[in-house]
Amino acid sequence: MQQARNTIELTEKYVLQTYSRFPVSFIKGEGAILYGEDGKEYIDFCSGIAVTNLGHCNPLLVEALKEIAQTLWHVSNLYYIPWQAKLAELIVKNSFSGKVFFCNSGAEANEGAIKFARLWGKKYKRGAYKIITATGSFHGRTLATLTATGQDKVKRGFEPLPEGFVHVPYNDIKVISKAIDKETAAIMLEPIQGEGGVIIPEVNYIREVKRICEEENILLILDEVQTGIARTGKLFAYMHFDITPDIMTLAKGLGNGVPIGAIVVSEKVVDAIEPGVHASTFGGNPIATRVALEVLRIVIENELWDRTNELGNLILEELKEIEDRVVEVRGKGLLIGIELRNKSSKEVAMDCLKKGLLVVPAGEKVVRLLPPLTIEKDLLIKGLSILKESI
């Protein structure tokens, strides 16, 4: 307990206070269990916010990390990097035809996607630069991505914001066409809004947005930072809608905790991007791409999206017991949102923490469940029992 207090005191004294943290610190993880400095075990329904999809300290990933750590750490993108090339190939062959740019985070991936869309608009649409995004969305904390984000709370204090972003209601196809003008280069959406409260659109909404993009000759950017890597029951969430985006962004689960982001760019966009227009010192370095290569290989070879669907359905079945105590339970795969009726999400998350369970608030009234895709069923049931009790 003293160690935990020391960590909290040191953090509050020396770390810039940009986060509202829960009062716990962790020193070890194994599978879906975290071990705190307070001596307690915690069931992890957070996964570092959809990051550790394959669990903490997955033995196969530990071996991959040890191997590359003893081989090569960094050389920069002045040179060719074998693991980067192999990872790009694996992503493209399991998504859509195009090429990949590697960076270090989801915000960087979305920032790069915005830049690439503007380059494409400048080259192929007479300088079109505007990007339509949705209310309730979350795309990152850089100046451009927080402007793209459809939540006022992340923008306060940073005005004046960059121009060129237009916000429309999510899951409302009627407003999309009205928002498009000759300066529109792209529409940028999350296939499922995560931080916005696990909002799942109608299947026809995403399909119609794609149709409109093709009809108007503008790009469809899908932010799969949270939904990618089998989290929603498909390798990538766009696969639920039988369409392909022009640009897709990835991060979080791609590295299972090793920082990495990726921008997958379709053939339609590739020619707009030339050497020198975008770069990242650490993007796609040997350590990050070697681990991510192993992550993706494990997910694909084991078709983990099937297990994601199975466990997601189990959660939805278990949570039927509390239907009368909540507004709604919604989700796909292992991205589940519980909209609360009488309690705040922070209140439920704090109560769960005290009982040994980690869950994620998403706004004031929604609790998000993001357990590892590899969690054992008995541990999942145990965690759900704690959650139901707290609600």
Q: pLDDT tier at 2 (50, 70, 90 boundaries)?
A: low
Percent of the chain with pLDDT over 90: 98
Sheet of strand 41-44: strand arrangement: 26-30, 33-36, 41-44, 357-358
Question: pLDDT digits over 257-309, tens only?
Answer: 999 999 999 999 999 999 999 999 999 999 999 999 999 999 999 999 999 99
Question: pLDDT digits over 230-255, tens only?
Answer: 999 999 999 999 999 999 999 999 99
Counted residue by residue, the chain has a size of 391
CA distance 130 to 181: 9
Give residues with Cβ within 8 angstroms of 354, minimum separation 6.
none
Q: pLDDT tier at 5 (50, 70, 90 boundaries)?
A: confident
Question: pLDDT digits over 203-224, tens only?
Answer: 999 999 999 999 999 999 999 9
Instruction: Look up residue 194 and give its amino acid.
Output: G
The CA distances from residue 208 to 173, 215, 217, 380, in Å, are 7, 10, 14, 36
pTM for this entry: 0.96
* Residue 178 annotated among the catalytic residues of the structure: no
CA distance 17 to 8: 12
The active-site residue, picked from 45, 102, 116, 138, is 138
For the chain, list the domains and their CATH numbers: 61-301 (3.40.640.10)
The active-site residue, picked from 223, 236, 241, 332, is 223
CA distance 160 to 120: 25
Residue 185 dihedral angles phi and psi, to the nearest 5°:
-105, -30
pLDDT of residue 278: 97
pLDDT of residue 293: 98
Residue 1 has pLDDT above 70, yes or no: no
pLDDT, averaged across the chain = 97
* Residue 223 annotated among the catalytic residues of the structure: yes
Say if residues 181 and 322 touch (Cβ distance below 8 Å): no
Query: Which one, of 133, 145, 139, 136, lies nearest residue 180 by Cα?
Result: 133
* Residue 346 annotated among the catalytic residues of the structure: no
CA distance 373 to 304: 7
- Tokens coding 341: 């009726």
Paired with 41 in beta bridges are 35
Residue 59 has pLDDT above 60, yes or no: yes
CA distance 294 to 359: 27
Cα-Cα-Cα-Cα dihedral sign, residues 188, 190, 195, 200: positive
The active-site residue, picked from 130, 252, 332, 365, is 252
* 3 state DSSP class of 389: helix
- Tokens coding 278: 């975008």
Strands 357-358, 98-103: pairing kind: unpaired
- Kindly report which listed range (4-8, 238-242, 386-390) carries the lowest average pLDDT score: 4-8
Percent of the chain with pLDDT over 70: 99
Strands 335-340, 360-362: pairing kind: unpaired
Element (H, E) at 9: helix 2-14
Peptide bond into 169 cis (omega under 30): no
> Which stretches of 52-162 are DSSP H helices?
59-69, 82-93, 106-124, 143-148
Question: pLDDT digits over 300-351, tens only?
Answer: 999 999 999 999 999 999 999 999 999 999 999 999 999 999 999 999 999 9
Q: What b-and-e string marks burial along 134-149, b requiring 16 or more CB atoms within 10 Å of the CB?
A: bbbbbbbebebbbbbb
Residue 4 has pLDDT above 80, yes or no: no
- In terms of Cβ atoms closer than 10 Å to its own Cβ (0-12, 13-18, 19+), residue 18 is exposed
